[in-house]
Each structure stands twice: as structure tokens, then as C-alpha cells.
Amino acid sequence: MQIWTGQAYPLGATFDGSGTNFALFSEVAERVELCLLDETGAERRIEITEVDAYVWHVYLPSVQPGQRYGYRVHGPYDPSAGHRCDASKLLLDPYAKAIAGMASNHPSLYSYDFENHAERNTDDSAAHTMHSVVVSPFFDWGNDHPPAHEYHDTVIYEAHIKGLTMLHPDIDEDIRGSYVAMGHPAIIEHLQELGVTAVELMPVHQFVQDGHLVEKGMRNYWGYNTIGFFAPHNEYSHAGQLGQQVQEFKQMVKNLHEADIEVILDVVYNHTAEGNQLGPTLCFRGIDNAAYYRLVEGDEAHYYDTTGTGNSLLMRTPHVLQLIMDSLRYWVTEMHVDGFRFDLASTLARELHEVDRLSAFFDIIQQDPVISQVKLIAEPWDLGEGGYQVGGFPPLWSEWNGKYRDTMRDFHRSQPGKIGDFTSRLAGSSDLYQHTGRTPIASINFVTAHDGFTLSDLVSYNDRHNAANGEDGKDGESHNRSWNSGVEGPTDDTGVRDLRLRRAKNLMATLLLSQGVPMILHGDEMGRTQDGNNNTYCQDNELAWVDWELDSYEMDMLWFTQSVIALRRDHPIFRRRRFLQGTPRDGADSALPDVEWLGTDGTLMTDEDWNNPQNKCLTMFLNGSGIPEPNLRGERIIDDSALVMFNASGNPVDFTLPPADHGREWRVELGTGDTIDVGDALAAETTLTRPGHSLLILMRPPMTEHDDDLPEHDETRTARA
């Protein structure tokens, strides 16, 4: 075999059409061996002799795509000093574009003896660990281009590759649970009919099955246990051939783009699957432990952990920052994804102890001409001190708005004193984002996500039911802000089932009519249940997978969700680019403000209404002629106006429509718990009795010259708004 010196950049294994360049960073290494493995597992070791700026590199003209490989790094094993090099462990390439196999939790993966942790274990791990794979970068993208939906037009659908596709009756069983299935016409048709514009895929970076779950006969279903930041998870590959997951992932993205659907990845850069000091040696730990991980100052044998997973990446070293940025650019430029949701993003901002808005990570994201132009979403918290940072991220970022979730759950389960918070969240959470120059798109609004109850379970259970997880029901969030609607769990009581459907619709409609960017959890549009389990991280089975066999209630929920998404899409007043002001638009034909909050009598809410903790009812008026910002072509936006009536109490309440200066006639667009038919016309100042836990949406066209004889608008209403 010919062995050439190669190049120190780019890092990883890079096939150029003739051969492959290998480059690995390790500052602490004394020797590095590149190990090539054949289909039998036989290993050929090649000493890497070229080192530039701590990057070990070699070029092998004969190595082609499909070649398995790994590294053995010779260097100090001194945990007390933070060093854990161990040449008996075959290590993954941190830049591997594909990974073969799955770590087996074999004792050889650990550098210590299970019986005596102080004793070294030098058993060879090659037969029991995962292998890096050389891949071809070539793929026929055709005329693929990013859909590039404007943020304010975006509706996100959080989905799991396997969970969404495993039970779909129109997908062949042999391809279910794969990238091929995710790009299948049956899935794409559902997404298009639903009306979402982006899928946010739960982790697809190569992850590891946790040892403690394997021992219980369980699996890591969610995938928040990353080991390969460049490699699509191999278990989601249909073909099962070496490196084929890369081609299948690209084809999935291409198919979704052709359907005008963006692909956002849920990425886990805050920690790795190697865990704490008792974890396996798979990659980073054996390459340069102190350069990759945060260690406890003065006790470098232990890891500083703000993620609850055992370790945290060291975000102040240039090579960790380079790793993350190279990974992000790779997924945008080579895999054509459209954005990222960063798991436990507060950890990424911790250069030292505190969460720092001005950390190096945010600086380099801001400056990068590629990454700064895609959708960037933070999960704005971690488990460390000061980690809850909703509203605290820089202007370029959007955030999962946890305060939105909590407020909406509380309001719609009739908790007292929520009117003020409810209207703030409904209007885009300007109190959280406006002070930093951000707009409503900073708020990713959600009521449910993968972690917690589904929407159906949120209205069907008071308590978590997690016994199947094998942790005595103690895992998962205990404070869910849920209400079972009168009966815990499944019931044949039609009254309870009707109430649950109505409440689920109320939550879904509120989400989709709020200013900001809505995110729907997969299956919520069809009433998916997890039988009260709010922590299905280890439930890779029908409990967590989407059931596509729908009863009449679930079909009704699906139709309703499609209808509200269509309403949002058709009306710019529900997806404003700027925050509502509560004042008339300068130069507008209408003297009405852009938004008013009305009491049940159709007049502006009084101080008494706002301060009454038992007030659970209001009407939101949105003025379609009061949108100040133009569209992207600079044209003035004029839309229909809307009234949305919310009754979050458990009792029937009389609502009166506002006076004729808001519109002589309104049409019923959509409602829950209604005897009123869609399309019915209602005159100004009509009084309606709205059922408990209900919502009603009314629309009217813009005012015309035929409305000149309307009474003048009461200016005191504007002032009070």
C-alpha cells in the first residue's frame, strides 16, 4: 500500500475520487495509528508520522468509499490530570461521515475493570465497538434548492424518523422506520395536506444505545446520545450497506424539498455518548480528553456536567468550536438541511461557569456566512445553575418558548390569574424578545414536544404513567400542568371524550393563531396517545410510534388542525412580522388599533377585568387594515379582520360582538363545542352563549366605502388599548 504524507485540512476522512486523506486532531497524543478493517474485522495498522499544529495526517491513494477505519491513540493515561489515552481502544473519527455497527456495551469498551475501578482494563475493543466508514461525497442533487420559507410563514412539525413511519399502512414494512420512509410519498402527502412548512427531525446524528438500557432490554428511542456529529444514524438506513445512510438521507432531503418542506435537525452538541468517568472510551475521551470535555477544576478525573448526561463539551477550546462549526456547515452545504434546533443550548454558551450571551460560540455563528443564514433555534435551558435563559439568546436566534407552553396549558385548564400572561404569549411574547430588537419569530411557540405528554394525553391525564420505563414511575416531569377532563385515562364516557376533543382543539387553535412560529408535535394533529407516559425516551415500540388507524374523534382532530393551519396560511394577521402595538396604523384607512382585548360585553377590558384572577374569558380583535409592515415586495398588507373568543372557564358564558365600528357583520370561520355553523353571519353586538372550554373564530373582509355611515370610532377605546 502506498502511503503519502497527506494534508492537515480538512479533518476527517476525505475521498477525492482517487484516494482518501485522513486527518485527526490530538494535542496530547504521542503516537497515532490509523487502523483499516476488512469485512472479517481483520485490522491493518498504519503509523501516522506527519503532524502539523497537532493534526496527524496521511493520504492513502488506494482507500475507497466503504472502507472501515478507526484510530489508536498512544499517549498518557492519567485521569487525575485529565488524560485518558488508551491504545487498546479502537476509536471513532470525530469527523466520520458514516459509522458502521453499534457499540455492544462490552467490558472491553471501558478503560477500567468493572470489579475494581482503579485497575486498568487493556482488552482490545475493536470487535465490540463502532467503526468509521469512508464515504463518497458525490450525489446527484439535480435542481434541489432550499424552500427558504420566511420565518413568519413557517409551521414546524417535530417528528421522529422511526416513530412517524413505523406503522404507516401505505409504506412497505421493509422500509418503515428509515430515511427512505420519511421521504416516502405517503408521508409527504400527509405533511402537505396538513400544511406544515418544515419538519424538525429528532436526533439523526449517529447515537449510541445506552448501556443501562441495553441491560434492561430497552433502547434509546429519542437519540439524545450523540457520538458522531457528521454521520447520519445508521439504524435509520434501509439498505444497511456501508455508508448508504448518507445517500438515503440526502434523497430524503431532496424529496422533502421538492414538496416545499424544509428540514431542520435537532442537534446535540452539548455532550457526547461517552458519559462520565465511568463511561466507555469510544472516541473523544481516548483522543484528547482534556481538550474535548469540561473537567472539574482541581479534580480533573471527574467531568463538569450541566446536561445531566455525565459530561459537557468544552466550549472555550478552538478545536471543539471548530468541530461544531465544521459539522453545522457540513449538514448545510453537503446534506442541504435548512436549520438546526440546539438541544440544551445554554450549555453551549458556558465558556466558564455562567451562561454568556457573548460567548465565542455565538460570535462565530454570527460571523459565519453559511450558518448565520439558516434557521437557528435554541432550547434555552440546561440543568446547570442559571441555565434557564428563555428570552436571553442573541438576536439571530429563535427559542423554544417554555413560558408560552406553561401559560397556554394553565390558561386552558382554567387556572386563575392567567389572562395577562395569556395575552402576552398570544401576541408574540414581546416582553421577552422586543428589548433585544427581536421580532415575534424569536418565539417558537409550542404546547407539547417529544419530552412530555402528547396533546391528547395533556387533556386525558393528571399524572404521568411511566411504569413501563422501569424506573418505578419516578422518571419524567411530575408537574405537567395537565387536566384529565374528569377521568384519568381511557374512558367510554362520551361527555368526557367530547370535552377532551374540544380542549385539544382549543390548544391547537391557540397555538396556530398566536404570533410567532408554531411547532406541532407529530401525531398531535391526529390525537396520538402514549397512554400517559410523558418520558418515552426508551420506548422504541408502539407506545411511542404514531398510530395511523384513526377513529372518528381522531379524524375530527385532523380535519380541525388542517383547517386552522390553512386559516393561518391565508391570513397575514395571524403571522405578523412585527409585534402588535395596540394603536392605529399610521395612514391606515381604519382608525381601529391593530389589536384590542375585549371583555365578554364586547367593550375593551377594564382594569378590573385584567386584575380579576377568576377572569378566564376574553375576545381578541385583530385589525386586518392595521398591519404596518409591508410584504417583502414593499406592498401594503390588507387582510380580513378577526375576532377570536376564548372561554377557558368550565361554564357557559355570554359573549357580545363589538359595535359596528369594528364591522357590521362577521362570518363564523371555525369553532369548538359549537351549535353555530361555519359560514353563518352574525351582526355587530350580537350576543352568543359560548360553552365552557370553547373557542370561536369570526372573520370579516376589510372595510369599504360602503361603511362610511358607520359610527365614529371611540378614541377612548384606543387609549385604553
For the annotated catalytic residues, the residue numbers are 343, 379
d(CA 714, CA 704): 19
Which position has the grid cell 380542549? 503
Q: How far apart are CA 531 and CA 490, in angstroms?
A: 8
CA distance 668 to 141: 46
- The grid coordinates of residue 572 equal 397575514
Kind plus residue range of the DSSP H or E element containing 250: helix 244-258
Residue 509 contacts residue 564 (beta carbons within 8 Å): yes
CA distance linking residue 287 with residue 285, whole number of Å: 6
Q: Is 349 within 8 Å of 361 (Cβ atoms)?
A: yes
Cell of 212: 443501562
For the beta carbon of residue 704, count every other beta carbon within 10 angstroms. Answer: 8
The secondary structure of residue 414, as a DSSP letter, is T
What is the chain's length? 721
Residue 300 CA: distances (Å) to CA of 78, 583, 662: 10, 58, 67
- 55, 41 in Cβ contact below 8 A? no
Cis preceding-peptide flag for 584 (omega within 30 of 0): no
* Cβ neighbours of residue 140 closer than 8 Å, sequence gap 6 or more: none
As a whole number of angstroms, the distance between CA 560 and CA 563 comes to 5
Cell numbers 455518548: residue: 273
Pairing of strands 443-445, 398-400: parallel
Are 658 and 622 in contact by the 8 Å Cβ rule? The answer is: no
Q: Specify whether the CB–CB gap between 624 and 573 falls below 8 A.
A: yes
DSSP β-bridge partners for residue 670: 697
Rg (CA), the chain: 28
